[in-house]
Amino acid sequence: MSWVFQQDNAAVHNARLTKDFFKENNITLLDHPTCSPDLNPIENIWGWMAREVYKNGHQFQTLDALREAIFTTWSNVPTSLLETLASSMPKRIVT
């Protein structure tokens, strides 16, 4: 199996140990332009999730309640949102 890892320039991805792991496991690195969250649709999903989890100013009394809300929200990401983000990629790349 061949693996490709999209490098987002996070510090942990640039650590010597991580680079050695990629090399030892023949993982191809795909560079990601710095400061380009627009090319990473998951950033849009995180924003959507935060708005959903904290909708109407909701606050959580326990870490477990927050965790449950996050998992529930993640399980209910609308297919239409994913489709919209996927179809927006060609335009994001061009502009």
For the stretch 34-65, pLDDT in tens is 667 777 888 899 999 999 999 999 999 999 99
Q: How far is the C-alpha of 27 from the C-alpha of 5, rounded, in Å?
A: 7
**Predicted TM-score of the model (pTM):** 0.61
* 84 within 8 A of 48, measured Cβ to Cβ: no
pLDDT greater at residue 59 or residue 33: 59
Band of residue 74 on the pLDDT scale cut at 50, 70, 90: very high
Band of residue 10 on the pLDDT scale cut at 50, 70, 90: confident
Nearest to 77 by CA among 40, 51, 39, 57: 51
